[in-house]
Structure 1
Amino acid sequence: MSNVIKVAVVGAGGTGGYYGGALSKQGHDVTMIARGSHLDSIKSKGLQVNSVLLGDFHLDITATDNMDSIGTVDLIIFAVKSYGTFDAIKAMHNLIGPKTLIISTQNGIDSEHLLSEAFGVNHVLGCTATVSSMIEEPGIISQKGGPGSLEIGEMNGGNSGRVNEIISICSEAGLNVESHKNIVLAIWKKFIFICALSGMTALTRKPIGEIFSQTTTTDMYLQVLAEVVAVGKAEGVDIPDDTANSTLRSTKAREPFIIGSMGHDLLAGRPIEIGLLNGRVNELGRKHNIATPSNTAIEAALRPHEHGSLS
């Protein structure tokens, strides 16, 4: 195994709990930053991870809601929901040492920029995470679908020794991880995918299999994809022309029961990431004078639920 590293998982929900749990299982010094009943359960009973990819395992793992108690770390997995980004960044400063690296598993396209602004570009690697994982109940992470993949790369392109080191550490932990020479494109491709998946499954309150069983919702799904591609190109990202159709095809090949994270949060009455997903698409559409009617419809329907407490 590579040398043991010290890891802080900022946001130990479904995604952070899965990736951080894998590193802890491998023997790394991982601290989970959580809150509420989930934190209480981890502190009293440990963390249970049930995974179709890694198997089921239990961890006696350190958990806290006080980042100042941890000290500096080697790696931060930044996995808070997008609406918690600014508060988390404000609380993270004492985690950062001279060689601390940060990878973000967040949805959206702004995370790396915000982290770089706060801590310096030398601390931030680009990353995408694709996994269907959730808090099944406090202290229990359930990973039921998705490839469980990580793509990591330098934000200015290319590869590096530090990228390879993180990839080696994650790979040894059983994670599906690879380097990406154009991580900005990879981040946008995930954004395209997640805006359609989360937007449409939240809008309909249905899994993707049921969305694709109807022509009208399939057509709208494709239109959402095409609109995100259009604003991405306007932002200067070299997105291949076939991305909307290829993303639709690959999503149809996934497990039909998948619901995006925004759909899960909506159904549970939790806050949702509409502002930094479909709302962000519409903001960029207005900036570039590009019509985004399908994303606008999703935002209009879901904005009333942005802060949770579904009635």
Structure 2
Amino acid sequence: MEIKTVSIIGLGALGVLFGRQLAKKMPEGDLRVIADRKRIERYERDGVYCNGDRCSFHYVTPEEECGPADLLIFAVKFNGLADAVQAVKKHVGPNTIILSALNGISSEEIISRTYGMDKILYCVAQGMDAVKTGNQLTYDHIGMLCFGEKEPGYVSEKAERVARFFEKTDFPYELDKHMMKRLWGKFMLNVGVNQTVAVFKSNFGEIQKEGPAREMMIAAMREVMALSEKEGFPLTEADLQYWLKVVGALSPDGKPSMAQDVEAKRYSEVGLFSGTVIELGKKHNVPVPVNEALYQRIQEMESGYENLNSKVAE
């Protein structure tokens, strides 16, 4: 059974980035973007733009009867995952394959509680430098989705099916036989890059050069390395260097999602990053002072949002 229909939930940076790529190669209607009625009205009125071009998406509400998708992609923020899991119910059938492009190391487990692990491939999005402001997305590097099974060295039929579909649609991907290591590596990257750039209120260029920001980023990543060994997916110095090269290839003017959240005064995914590191540090009795400091600093930054929102309401 080949993949013909795709549903995406979430039109943040990743949803727009990958949705546009698929829309260029798929028949109209075979790619569905799931959103509530209010969002759809806004998307249709104001448009959704990628590198200056207006995206042509086929929108459906969660209540709409449209049949299960062959491939379902979650591209929401972590704080919207619980609602998204409920919103996609009409898009999941016996043969649906699910990919989660969310940050962190827990979204697959959360989704599986409702739809079963048999439908899920582990996945990470990496290498993109997209910046989304309002309804405008800009990027230099589209990045890719890396996916595979939890079991190392095993390539399943559903993973091969996704790979064939991505080949057909010129979609950037990598089929990884060691996905848990990749997942932990991306988590390490996010913990270092997202939080450091957010705290320094800067961009990728700030952590690509020697200095306090890069030192903080690497120190935060090394704390994840120590925890990965305790969790059974040990990351090495070679893994650290690999992910630093990924960072080095990004546009210096680009910004990770957390930095964009801070800039827009939105609550971030700090609980998903340093929050998770702190919990695992307590579990394994491993000190994580850098992530504790990052968590505290970002919490302090976000504590002012309520006052800001109150003034706006007045």
TM-score bracket for the superposition, by shorter chain length: 0.7 to 0.9
In the TM superposition, what are the counterparts of 1:203-242 in structure 2 within 5 Å? 203-242=199-238
Looking at structure 2, the residues matched to 96 and 163 of structure 1 have their Cα atoms a distance apart, in angstroms, of: 17
CA contact (8 A) 1:46 1:61 kept: no
Partner of 1:77: 73
CA contact (8 A) 1:205 1:267 kept: yes
Identify if the C-alpha distance between structure 1 residues 181 and 114 changes in structure 2 by more than 3 Å, giving closer, same or farther.
Answer: same
Alignment partner of 1:97: what SS? coil
Tell me by how many angstroms 1:112 deviates.
Answer: 1.0
Partner of 2:10: 11
Partner of 1:133: 130
Tell me by how many angstroms 1:36 deviates.
Answer: 8.5
TM-score between the two structures when normalised by the length of structure 1: 0.88
Alignment partner of 2:174: what SS? strand
Looking at structure 2, the residues matched to 308 and 83 of structure 1 have their Cα atoms a distance apart, in angstroms, of: 19
Is 1:254 the counterpart of 2:253? The answer is: no
Alignment partner of 2:271: what SS? helix
Looking at structure 1, the residues matched to 156 and 89 of structure 2 have their Cα atoms a distance apart, in angstroms, of: 25
Q: Deviations over 1:41-70 (max 9, x none)?
A: 4324654322xxxxx654432224x31214
Partner of 1:68: 63
Partner of 1:53: none
CA contact (8 A) 2:194 2:258 kept: yes
Tell me by how many angstroms 1:87 deviates.
Answer: 1.8
Looking at structure 2, the residues matched to 93 and 38 of structure 1 have their Cα atoms a distance apart, in angstroms, of: 18
Equivalent position amino acid for 1:206 in 2: S
Is 1:149 the counterpart of 2:150? The answer is: no
More off after superposition, 198-207 vs 234-243? 234-243
Is 1:25 the counterpart of 2:24? The answer is: yes
Tell me by how many angstroms 1:224 deviates.
Answer: 0.6
Tell me by how many angstroms 1:214 deviates.
Answer: 4.9
CA contact (8 A) 1:153 1:183 kept: yes
CA contact (8 A) 1:46 1:59 kept: yes
Looking at structure 2, the residues matched to 20 and 308 of structure 1 have their Cα atoms a distance apart, in angstroms, of: 34
Identify if the C-alpha distance between structure 1 residues 135 and 159 changes in structure 2 by more than 3 Å, giving closer, same or farther.
Answer: same
Tell me by how many angstroms 1:143 deviates.
Answer: 2.6
TM-score between the two structures when normalised by the length of structure 2: 0.87
In the TM superposition, what are the counterparts of 1:1-311 in structure 2 within 5 Å? 5-28=4-27, 29-34=30-35, 39-44=40-45, 47-50=48-51, 57-64=53-60, 66-69=61-64, 70-130=66-126, 131-138=128-135, 140-145=136-141, 148-157=143-152, 158-305=154-301, 309=305, 311=308
Tell me by how many angstroms 1:253 deviates.
Answer: 4.0
Tell me by how many angstroms 1:291 deviates.
Answer: 0.7
Looking at structure 1, the residues matched to 3 and 217 of structure 2 have their Cα atoms a distance apart, in angstroms, of: 44
CA contact (8 A) 2:140 2:251 kept: no
Paired residue total: 302
CA contact (8 A) 2:203 2:252 kept: yes
Identify if the C-alpha distance between structure 1 residues 270 and 23 changes in structure 2 by more than 3 Å, giving closer, same or farther.
Answer: same
Could you tell me which runs of 5 or more consecutive residues in structure 2 were left unpaired when the two chains were aligned: 309-314
Identify if the C-alpha distance between structure 1 residues 274 and 94 changes in structure 2 by more than 3 Å, giving closer, same or farther.
Answer: same
Looking at structure 1, the residues matched to 94 and 3 of structure 2 have their Cα atoms a distance apart, in angstroms, of: 18
Tell me by how many angstroms 1:232 deviates.
Answer: 1.4
> Could you say what the CA RMSD is over the residues aligned between the two structures, in angstroms?
2.4
Could you tell me which runs of 5 or more consecutive residues in structure 1 were left unpaired when the two chains were aligned: 51-55
Q: Deviations over 1:125-184 (max 9, x none)?
A: 11111122243332x432333x51111112223112221221222233222212100111
CA contact (8 A) 1:274 1:306 kept: no
CA contact (8 A) 1:222 1:245 kept: no
Looking at structure 2, the residues matched to 240 and 306 of structure 1 have their Cα atoms a distance apart, in angstroms, of: 33
Looking at structure 2, the residues matched to 230 and 307 of structure 1 have their Cα atoms a distance apart, in angstroms, of: 30
Tell me by how many angstroms 1:233 deviates.
Answer: 1.3
Richer in strand (by share): 1
Identical-pair percentage:
27
Tell me by how many angstroms 1:226 deviates.
Answer: 0.2
Identify if the C-alpha distance between structure 1 residues 186 and 306 changes in structure 2 by more than 3 Å, giving closer, same or farther.
Answer: farther
Tell me by how many angstroms 1:308 deviates.
Answer: 8.5
CA contact (8 A) 1:9 1:79 kept: yes
CA contact (8 A) 1:272 1:307 kept: no
CA contact (8 A) 1:5 1:74 kept: yes
